[in-house]
Structure 1
Amino acid sequence: MDEVEASDMSGDEEYSDSGQGAMIMATVIHKALENKKKGLQKDYDWIVHQLSQDNMDAQIFYRWLKSLRYCTTDINHKCESLVNATLKIKWIDREESLLDLYIGWLADLVTVHTSFYLDPCLRMLINHFMSSNDSRELTVGENQSFDIFGNKQVHRAMQTVLHLVPSSQTRLIPILTHYFPSEYKPLDQYVYYVSNLLRLTVYAPGLRSQILELTVHKLVKVDVEVSRDSINKINQIFADDEMQFDVDLEMNDSNSADKLAVLPRDLQQIANLADKLDLSMSIFLSYISIICYQQGKFDQSAASLLFTDLLTAFDTIILPTHDICHIQFYLFVTCSYDEEFVKQMLHLCWNKFEDTNVPAVLRQTSVAYIASFVARAKFVPLRIINTCIEIFCTWIHRYLDEHGNCTTADIDTHCLFYSACQCLFYMIVFKHENLMADEEGKKLLNRGGLQRIVTSKLNPLRFCMPILVKFFAAITSEHELVYCYTIIESNKREQLPTALFGGDKQLTRDINNQLDTFFPFDPYLLSRSAKTIEPLYQSWDDNLNSNAACTKNQQEENEDDDDYLSSDALSPYDCMNSFSPGFGISPARAMMQNYYRARSHSNSMNDDKF
């Protein structure tokens, strides 16, 4: 390449008069590409080397991109190294005119050479989803717009590509899936990727359902690693060290590392995962709110379309996943926006429970979602609570009509019956005050046939969680709905066999021959995202049912039930931990603490809340 050409390519003209220079450079590129076809690689390699230079100044950047756009049709599938060099150029932080030029180059490339260079362009853009060019820290809160979600410049380019090449949407999901960061990647990469994925759905609505399913699927993988027991241990260590486990939104703050230093290495990893999940959930909940509320007003149409996609993700991903703690709360929050959403969610779960083609474990999980949702959601209207109680009672009585003469109460054979009973008892324990304060609710409980259920030969009180049975008995006795204590005492005297089971039956019982106690909307443990959930959530109040519990505990004060609490059987406190194993305001923890306080202080109650 002669000195005149090289000198012109390093010229210093301003943008306004560099058009001639760009034309000359285009001639050079054209000549190099022609020579490459003839096997002469030197000039081509030199161009690739120049394009690969770091920190290319604005003028050179302008000339190269301008000249390349003149030569788009000369490029073929053998020019991969040149195209890759342009895709590695630092372009995001450039000024507006240069940014437009680079996006124009990408547009030319994907429209002229779709089959060769569409995927590389998409991969380059998606790779930028793991970073942000915004100097501000990523924050979430109220009254925000989609500006908080992701890199605006990258999305300008992506939107252009998707508009010009509609078929690119079919290629996008596999690439998005491939580039989704592992849960063990740095916090900022993971959270920025989630943010950018959600922003992508705004201008690519046809991909929203798939993107939401991908996002939920990946967050589930994190959630299953963040167990309640682990978070309890972390909080206990921080409490002993007078610290608080909290998500640090300043993702590069060294204080986070200092806080985690007090934890064992395995818990440090759990804490990092909890950070990712907490901030990702905050962003996800903010995204849902922004879609549903346009300019401060609820947008019924937009919200309904979004809810359809969210419910699909719940059905296909959340429901089949057992013992997750947090991710399901996205649907809990979304249901609070519209009563119709509540009905759709409950309808889906009930239909799945009644479908005999659905595996038993999934049917049990479905009714657990209904019971936990109805018990915990403050926004569920009383008439819907009444409806849920009624359909549970109806189903249970229909089951008794068909199987009530069975002589053996077997949890394997009748696991669905016992699950339905446990869920019914759970809803009554949580909502009995609402039900008894309402005339229709009171009539419903009186005509619900609770006496028949409790005294049936299938003996549901034997297999339901002991602490739940204890409170159900106290409440129903106080309101003269049913008397359970004779059956409870009889069950206590029986020695329940202890055995271990494999396969799906592990989810049906624990080693004390009791039902699985998974209630999916037990207390939410992530502090940042919990701020959205707390106003909607009914926590277990320490004083709730205290009078009923004390009344029965006083009656039992002189009874010798220590044999039941000892030996090889699980204590009520152990059962309580399986019922609601999280820290915070756990219903079972409050129940157990009520119970032992009542036994130790029969005439007084501590008013602290747990």
Structure 2
Amino acid sequence: MGMESVHNTTGTNEVENYDFTDSELIYYVRNALDSTTSDDSSYQELVGLMHHKERLSPDQVALLSTCLKALSGAVSCIDMTCHKDLLSSIFAMSLWRHGVEASDALADLVVSLAVSNGKFVDLCLAMLVRNFMPPYSFMDSLKEPRGLARKAHALSLVHSSLESISRLVPLAPTRLAALVVQEMPRIQEKEKIGQAGALTNIRIFVENMFRLESGPVGALVGSTMLMAVVDRLLDLDLDISWDDILKDESSRGIFEMELEDWEYEGEDADDLEQIIGQSLSRKALSRNASAEQLDALLVLTFEHLESCQTQGRLNEVFSVLLQSFCRTVLNAYKSKFTQFVMFYVCALDPENCGVSFSKTLVDLFCSDCPPLTRMSAAAYLASYLSRAMFLSDKVVLTNLKRLVDWCVEYCGIHGDDCDLNPEAHRIFYAGCQAIMYILCFRMRGIITVPWLKSQLSMMPIETILKHPLAPLKVCLPSVVEEFLGQAKAARLFTVSKTFIFDDLLESELSRAFGGLERLDMFFPFDPCLLKQSDSFIRQHYIYWSMVGKHYANDEQGSSDEEEDEEITVKGNDNMAMSYDDEGVNLDDFDLAMTKMSITPKNHSLIYGYGGELQELSRMPSKIRPSMSPPEL
């Protein structure tokens, strides 16, 4: 029985209405496969049938489906060398291009090939992974219900086929994980202008990676999928330079420069700050293709974490993400947004993930890891404890005590005759700066609870600050000034004014702290400037204006006696609750420019250390955009 029995040769491309049994079809296909050694054209006709590019008629679709099913019953006759053209045609086919019957038949054939011969496994897996993404011509149709239905069916076939192969071929999951990572789309230079197709492709690919992670083969490939996604987030993150966000000068705070150069009338300072913030962050990033892709992938990641929480396996995913964080993100150079994956997974489960992350960071700082790792851990810990609204003040104080204890022990080892050398003692200064930075944000919440205030008062922080190593002269001046101002107002410490210097100036000691890649500028959980991602973060996040607003309201026009009364009356162990009770609207902080680290210089908004407390609504501007330590 030749091809002419199934497909006429009149040029009309119509299929005659013959009914064939499965055995007859398999017999025909076997003959076609055998004809590669003869002059019979049946094999070439079979290859041509698989190689259709134009739109098929209903009769041609029926013929294709029939032959695909017949090939599934004859896979034992397919040879890697003799039938190279046929295999190439099969593996070049797309599950997206055909209707239900033909695509189902194609998926069955691919599974049959993988199971029949180990030589076909990689080819079959690679073909299915390529089908994670649609052909380019399908991009526009994905916005329509019909296109979405085609997508759902195609990807359902892809994953069911991968699951079948993984179940029947023991080594397949290992090969699958490697192939997925290898095929993951990368940004090409020509795509950096922001092509919609490139963004759609990487989104769909990552969706499939998360589907693998949460599916039946997730136990075998899930950790690889999660780590690969984080690595790609970091690639995109590092592709964004601060020059893409902020037009900064090395010696001036960004808002200091912008407020000097910006001409604007008719708005007060807060409105002007928000206008400038929008100009510098959202608009600048919206023109960056890497930022756009990173934002989209972070949203997918956050949504996947939410689904993991619903499935009751968030702790399992957290363990993988924590491992990935310690392996790559912690020591990444200038990571800006990828770390918010850890922030969000902790926000979803504060009592377990949230506490575990803080413990890991403080353990790293107190360990014998390389200095840059320990300094980075201190910066992450300080920023995390300061910004995480979901962490209670008790948790913050527990971690703070470990930092203080380590610094006290360090002071004991290095006596009064030690040299003031920022490079030699950089880990110590990283710890001291972390302590002060945390208290800039969380002191207000801690002192409103008498027993927590008592614990804070008993910590020998003043001993550390007055040690001959002089951390107040080495750490970032704006952090030092803000910390001392709040500590003085709360009457927790009595540090001499001689330790203070103008925040406009940065001493040589402070400049030397951290070496070339200034860790004094590294606050990794500064507000997220990616618009879509920030919508997930903001409800769990402490903005500096929240702290400044509370402090300004409490201190303006109040006597010492009134202050004492307010501190003892307001008791709350959870900063999130106190903010909610005060009716703070998170939408007020949409632009994330009210943060402590990059706010406008305003000389009227600092503490007067020699007299009464002056107006304070935000941190000084000298803390510049976050920069992480160099890679080891």
Q: TM-score range by the shorter chain?
A: 0.7 to 0.9
Instruction: Tell me the CA shift for residue 241 of structure 1.
Output: 14
Equivalence map 1:355-504=2 (5 Å):
355-356=367-368, 358-489=369-500, 496-497=507-508
**CA contact under 8 A between 1:106 and 1:161: conserved in structure 2?**
no
Match of 2:172 among 137, 152, 168: 168
The structure-2 alpha-carbon separation of the partners of 1:372 and 1:48, relative to structure 1 and needing over 3 Å to count, comes to: same
Quote the residue 2:304 is aligned against.
Answer: 287
Q: Could you give the per-residue CA deviations for residues 309-359 of structure 1, whole angstroms, max 9, x where no partner exists?
A: 121111212112132111111111111222111221122222222221x11
Instruction: Tell me the CA shift for residue 228 of structure 1.
Output: 4.2
Alpha-carbon distance in structure 2 between the residues aligned to 1:222 and 1:397? 40
Quote the residue 1:588 is aligned against.
Answer: 597
Match of 2:353 among 341, 361, 380: 341
User: 2:516 aligned with 1:506, yes or no?
Assistant: yes
Instruction: Tell me the CA shift for residue 433 of structure 1.
Output: 0.7
Quote the residue 2:626 is aligned against.
Answer: none
User: 2:549 aligned with 1:535, yes or no?
Assistant: no
Alpha-carbon distance in structure 1 between the residues aligned to 2:177 and 2:616? 56
Structure 1 stretch displaced more, 100-109 or 151-160: 151-160
The structure-2 alpha-carbon separation of the partners of 1:421 and 1:239, relative to structure 1 and needing over 3 Å to count, comes to: closer
Instruction: Tell me the CA shift for residue 159 of structure 1.
Output: 2.3
Structure 1 stretch displaced more, 82-91 or 366-375: 82-91
Instruction: Tell me the CA shift for residue 27 of structure 1.
Output: 3.2
The structure-2 alpha-carbon separation of the partners of 1:375 and 1:229, relative to structure 1 and needing over 3 Å to count, comes to: farther
**CA contact under 8 A between 1:223 and 1:324: conserved in structure 2?**
yes
User: 2:47 aligned with 1:30, yes or no?
Assistant: no
SS in 2 for 1:589: coil
Alpha-carbon distance in structure 1 between the residues aligned to 2:462 and 2:175? 60
The structure-2 alpha-carbon separation of the partners of 1:85 and 1:543, relative to structure 1 and needing over 3 Å to count, comes to: same
Alpha-carbon distance in structure 1 between the residues aligned to 2:278 and 2:453? 47
Equivalent pairs: percent with the same residue? 21
Aligned length: 533
Instruction: Tell me the CA shift for residue 479 of structure 1.
Output: 1.7
**CA contact under 8 A between 1:107 and 1:164: conserved in structure 2?**
no
Q: What amino acid is aligned across from residue 341 of structure 2 in structure 1?
A: Y
Instruction: Tell me the CA shift for residue 481 of structure 1.
Output: 1.9
Equivalence map 1:84-103=2 (5 Å):
84-92=88-96, 94-103=98-107
SS in 2 for 1:100: helix
SS in 1 for 2:226: helix
Alpha-carbon distance in structure 1 between the residues aligned to 2:159 and 2:444? 51
TM-score (normalised: structure 2): 0.75
The structure-2 alpha-carbon separation of the partners of 1:490 and 1:432, relative to structure 1 and needing over 3 Å to count, comes to: closer
Alpha-carbon distance in structure 1 between the residues aligned to 2:156 and 2:389? 38
Quote the residue 2:112 is aligned against.
Answer: 108
Quote the residue 2:80 is aligned against.
Answer: 77
Instruction: Tell me the CA shift for residue 469 of structure 1.
Output: 0.7
After superposing on structure 2, the runs of 4+ consecutive aligned residues of structure 1 that deviate more than 6 Å are: 147-150, 234-246, 490-495, 498-502, 547-551, 606-610
Instruction: Tell me the CA shift for residue 194 of structure 1.
Output: 1.2
SS in 2 for 1:587: coil
Instruction: Tell me the CA shift for residue 42 of structure 1.
Output: 4.8
Uncovered stretches (5+) of structure 2, i.e. residues with no partner: 146-150, 192-197, 249-254, 263-273, 558-590, 622-632
Q: Could you give the per-residue CA deviations for residues 339-394 of structure 1, whole angstroms, max 9, x where no partner exists?
A: 111221122222222221x1100011111111111110011022111101211111
Pairwise CA RMSD: 3.9
Instruction: Tell me the CA shift for residue 607 of structure 1.
Output: 7.1
Equivalence map 1:37-56=2 (5 Å):
38=37, 42-54=41-53, 55-56=55-56
TM-score (normalised: structure 1): 0.78
Quote the residue 1:354 is aligned against.
Answer: 366
Instruction: Tell me the CA shift for residue 39 of structure 1.
Output: 6.2
Instruction: Tell me the CA shift for residue 100 of structure 1.
Output: 2.8
The structure-2 alpha-carbon separation of the partners of 1:91 and 1:397, relative to structure 1 and needing over 3 Å to count, comes to: closer
Structure 1 stretch displaced more, 280-289 or 340-349: 340-349
Instruction: Tell me the CA shift for residue 187 of structure 1.
Output: 1.0
Quote the residue 1:68 is aligned against.
Answer: 71
The structure-2 alpha-carbon separation of the partners of 1:64 and 1:483, relative to structure 1 and needing over 3 Å to count, comes to: same
Uncovered stretches (5+) of structure 1, i.e. residues with no partner: 140-146, 247-259, 510-514, 552-581
Alpha-carbon distance in structure 2 between the residues aligned to 1:595 and 1:218? 42
Quote the residue 1:188 is aligned against.
Answer: 200
The structure-2 alpha-carbon separation of the partners of 1:243 and 1:8, relative to structure 1 and needing over 3 Å to count, comes to: farther
Q: Could you give the per-residue CA deviations for residues 188-240 of structure 1, whole angstroms, max 9, x where no partner exists?
A: 11111111111111222121111111110111010112244423469999979
**CA contact under 8 A between 1:65 and 1:102: conserved in structure 2?**
yes
